[in-house]
Structure 1
Amino acid sequence: MRNSSFGDIAHLGHVELLTSEFDKSRWFFTELLAMREVAAEGDSVFLHAWDDYERYTLKLTASPASGVGRVALRTGSQEALERRAAAIEATGRGIGWKDGEQGVGRSYAFTDPDGHPMEIYYDTEWFQAPDDAKPALKNQADKYPGRGINARRLDHVNYLGKDVEENGTFIADALGGEATEQIRLNTGQISAQWFHFNSKSYDVVYSADNTGSTGRLHHIAFATDTREDILKGADVFLENGIHIESGPHKHAIQQTFFLYVYEPGGNRIEFANAGARLMLAPDWKTIEWTEAERAKGQAWGMKTISTFHTHGTPPVGE
């Protein structure tokens, strides 16, 4: 049966990305991904993907080491916010209430078992397009940029975790997430899990950190409209000297058509066209993949590249 708290988290709201190459990373996201800069504060800029209904999508922060900062999830209601805050508090991982940033209201901060900083919120300010950039269609947040890869919205975050199962239990019990797919090794250990909070196939992923470290990032992903956007994006990145790690290929797990690159700060960024695959079944059963099945690699395209299992940010012993 479906977890009774499923739906308390509406979606992944926004992500803070730390970068050791701030100016170059800023150029990457604004010029190649066509994100709009909506505010600057201290060592951070706030960027908006063109069809995100909220004021900002990505907080980019200058840091000595690249990696993931705060990840924020929006709840389905004020009551859901209070319920999830109480559930998190009961785990002993709560930090407490705080004021949000750039139109985000009262937020509850906490960490997962791996130490990744997270928070949940409900009240939020909706994005208002500038007068010279009003979209032609009133059901669209911002004007279609028509350049670069045209990142439409934030899709998911993939954490590296020292203990995938411990982190997954926390996501399920404290936030009401459900695992749609997972990998189980021959040892019986779960090495990766994909969680969703709504009809999307996944919002938060945990992959085993082979270095034994904690608090690291595997990648964040942005959704595109079509596969053709990703193919065009590969050419855009090639022309601009951006390292293409892998793709375009098709994943077996979740069936995502994908491209992975490293932004100038070294963070892995994925571009994914996964919107057609939805988890509509209220009694969805977690799909489990064996170690032998995963050894076959992607659904099609090249074999999984070795750096996919070694590179993360901040870098550790690569």
Structure 2
Amino acid sequence: MTKLHKEPIFDVAQIAHVEMLSNTPKETIAFFTDMLGMEVVETINNQTYLRAYEDNYKYSLIITESEEPGLGHVAWRTTSPQALERRVKAVEASGYGIGWSNDQHGHGPAYQFTTPDGHKMEILWEVDYFDCPVEAQSKLLSRSQKRPLKGVPVRRLDHINLMSSNPAADSGFLIDVLGFKLREQIVDNDHVIGTWISVSNLVHEIAFMQEPTGAKGKLHHVCYWYGVPQNLYDAADVLKDHGHFIEIPPNKHGVSQAFCMYAYEPSGNRVELFGDAGYLIFDPDWKPITWQMKDVPGNGDTWIGAVFPESFWTYGTPVTAPVPLEAVAE
């Protein structure tokens, strides 16, 4: 007898943008523009909107001046206006809804909510697309604009990783309410340490990692994509030469198989750079991959490269515990 599968939900299409909080906004913006080749779209009050050159929407990153670094919010775009209505009803039924926001820049009405851990998110349909000036238009018609000549330009926003006091609860919420799919996870006996979930063929658009102090709502990292591993070595060379702290030099993950590196922008938020997309998932009956924590060091965190430092597992923003010594830039 054929086993009945839970009907999948295809109402969320992709990550739309991320808001990052910074207590050094001028320096943070310079990091993304001068080092990573992103472009300032505009600045309104205490918020600056930036884009990568292959982002289709008007912007993918908001830098908001704040007393401490961390996550502002994550925005997800639905697949249609009707899909937005369905997901709003589901979020409202979950008890984690906040309500509608109609006055944000660069997109239409957005329904705001939190994860069980308190990370602020929103879902939306209407977006402003990037209107590229004629002089900046690329002859490559699938590219939003010419490749910038500054820094080592990232191409697009890839994913977000959040620290959580309960990764299983946060990922379960997005799976049940928004239709995300569990792709990989790390467990310590029966306790979930980390999850990688997605709404597309990517291994993840969002991940949750255990926050060791039990603090809630923290940011682990924002990730931008290059698509070419060599770009990571170029970026590492530029970042090091200009005094930015590199936590993990170019490396290859076991989880996701992506080529990666990690650095801190000046306010202390971690930024990951992807050198490729890892593997893609097309199987509609994909069975989640489960790693035991004891097998992760040297295999799951890094497949090719040095074992990740303790700071990778313990440091996030805002800082709620002493920063490990190896995570402090000289």
On whether the aligned pair clears a TM of 0.5, the verdict is: yes
Q: Give the aligned length.
A: 317
Question: Which position in structure 2 is the counterpart of 1:314?
Answer: 318
Output the amino acid matched with 2:17. Answer: H
Question: Which position in structure 1 is the counterpart of 2:156?
Answer: 153
Question: Which position in structure 2 is the counterpart of 1:302?
Answer: 306
Q: TM-score, normalised by structure 1?
A: 0.97
The one-character-per-residue Cα deviations of 1:272-293 (angstroms, maximum 9, x if unpaired) are 1232521111111100001221
User: Relative to 1, partners in 2 of residues 1:264 and 1:3: Cα closer, same or farther, differing over 3 Å?
Assistant: farther
- Point out where structure 2 has 5 or more consecutive residues left out of the alignment: 323-330
Question: Which position in structure 2 is the counterpart of 1:229?
Answer: 231
What SS class does the counterpart of residue 256 from structure 2 fall into?
helix
What SS class does the counterpart of residue 316 from structure 1 fall into?
coil
Task: Judge conservation of contact 1:182–1:193 (CA < 8 Å) in 2.
Answer: yes
Output the amino acid matched with 1:185. Answer: D
2:150 counterpart of 1:133: no
User: Relative to 1, partners in 2 of residues 1:108 and 1:174: Cα closer, same or farther, differing over 3 Å?
Assistant: same
User: Relative to 1, partners in 2 of residues 1:12 and 1:100: Cα closer, same or farther, differing over 3 Å?
Assistant: farther
Task: Judge conservation of contact 2:42–2:48 (CA < 8 Å) in 1.
Answer: yes
Question: Which position in structure 1 is the counterpart of 2:9?
Answer: 6
Q: Distance in 2 between matches of 1:13 and 1:241?
A: 30
Output the amino acid matched with 1:224. Answer: Y
Q: Distance in 1 between matches of 2:156 and 2:197?
A: 18
Please tell me the root mean square deviation across aligned C-alpha atoms, in Å.
Answer: 1.3
The one-character-per-residue Cα deviations of 1:76-127 (angstroms, maximum 9, x if unpaired) are 1111111111111001000111125333111110000011110000111110
Q: Distance in 2 between matches of 1:166 and 1:16?
A: 23
2:290 counterpart of 1:288: yes
User: Relative to 1, partners in 2 of residues 1:123 and 1:85: Cα closer, same or farther, differing over 3 Å?
Assistant: same
Q: TM-score, normalised by structure 2?
A: 0.93
Q: Distance in 2 between matches of 1:220 and 1:165?
A: 20
Question: Which position in structure 1 is the counterpart of 2:243?
Answer: 241
Deviates more, 1:254-263 or 1:276-285: 276-285
Task: Judge conservation of contact 1:223–1:273 (CA < 8 Å) in 2.
Answer: yes
2:96 counterpart of 1:96: no
**Post-superposition offset of 1:30:** 1.1
Output the amino acid matched with 1:311. Answer: Y
Q: Distance in 2 between matches of 1:74 and 1:5?
A: 17
1:22 to 2, 20, 25: 25
The one-character-per-residue Cα deviations of 1:219-262 (angstroms, maximum 9, x if unpaired) are 01001120011110000101110000012111110001111000
What SS class does the counterpart of residue 254 from structure 1 fall into?
coil
Task: Judge conservation of contact 2:230–2:275 (CA < 8 Å) in 1.
Answer: no
2:81 counterpart of 1:70: no
The one-character-per-residue Cα deviations of 1:167-219 (angstroms, maximum 9, x if unpaired) are 11101111110110001102x10110000001111101000000110010110
2:122 counterpart of 1:119: yes
Deviates more, 1:144-153 or 1:82-91: 144-153
2:57 counterpart of 1:54: yes
Deviates more, 1:303-312 or 1:3-12: 3-12
**Post-superposition offset of 1:146:** 3.5
Task: Judge conservation of contact 2:227–2:276 (CA < 8 Å) in 1.
Answer: no
Q: Distance in 2 between matches of 1:80 and 1:48?
A: 26
Task: Judge conservation of contact 1:6–1:178 (CA < 8 Å) in 2.
Answer: no
Question: Which position in structure 2 is the counterpart of 1:39?
Answer: 42
Question: Which position in structure 2 is the counterpart of 1:164?
Answer: 167
Deviates more, 1:145-154 or 1:103-112: 145-154
User: Relative to 1, partners in 2 of residues 1:68 and 1:145: Cα closer, same or farther, differing over 3 Å?
Assistant: same
Task: Judge conservation of contact 1:3–1:176 (CA < 8 Å) in 2.
Answer: no
What SS class does the counterpart of residue 260 from structure 1 fall into?
strand
Question: Which position in structure 2 is the counterpart of 1:266?
Answer: 268
What SS class does the counterpart of residue 74 from structure 2 fall into?
strand
Q: Distance in 2 between matches of 1:275 and 1:51?
A: 15
Q: Distance in 1 between matches of 2:122 and 2:30?
A: 27
Output the amino acid matched with 1:303. Answer: V
Task: Judge conservation of contact 1:55–1:102 (CA < 8 Å) in 2.
Answer: no
Q: Distance in 2 between matches of 1:273 and 1:175?
A: 28
Where does structure 1 differ by over 6 angstroms across 4 or more consecutive aligned residues?
none
1:193 to 185, 192, 195: 195
**Post-superposition offset of 1:33:** 1.0
Question: Which position in structure 2 is the counterpart of 1:277?
Answer: 279
Output the amino acid matched with 1:312. Answer: G
Output the amino acid matched with 1:305. Answer: P
